[in-house]
Amino acid sequence: MNIVAGVLILVIGFGIHWIAQLVSVVNWDFGVRVGFQETNMPPEYKVYEHAIAVADSLLGWIHGLAGVGILMDADWGYKLAWFPGVVFVYHGLSYWFWTRNRRRAGHPLTSDSMRIGWFLANVTTGLLAIWLAWNVS
């Protein structure tokens, strides 16, 4: 179980949330070109998305630390996993409602399958990390 959780936290949290968002903060246009950020985003959405990228960049390194700790089967890794777990659940829920509100406003920037997949990847990984944090350490 720790291998699956550690890999998920490293890939989704460290790889996608931290590295991709950090690249986007440093160079937004490059982040859009390589697919880290959405294309054709209305300017008023870019302000919000950029703020989320900054927040993810400031906190996302903890995901990498927790993922490595879990892969090493270290007690501190499991305790630290609570943080990315909560962040993943938050990201999944906020993404779900953010995309719903954008669609209602006439700006469906993501497909249904991407919306569902992103929601499920975040919430599932988050709940697994929280479960590990509470039950394994």
Question: How far, in Å, CA of 35 to CA of 112, rounded?
Answer: 17
The position carrying tokens 């996302």 is 60
Domain residues for the domain of 122 are 2-135
What is the value of pTM for the model shown? 0.75
The domain tally of the chain equals 1
Question: How far, in Å, CA of 69 to CA of 101, rounded?
Answer: 37
The position carrying tokens 């294309």 is 39
pLDDT average per 10 residues of sequence, the chain (137 residues): 82 83 94 87 85 86 89 90 88 91 83 88 88 81
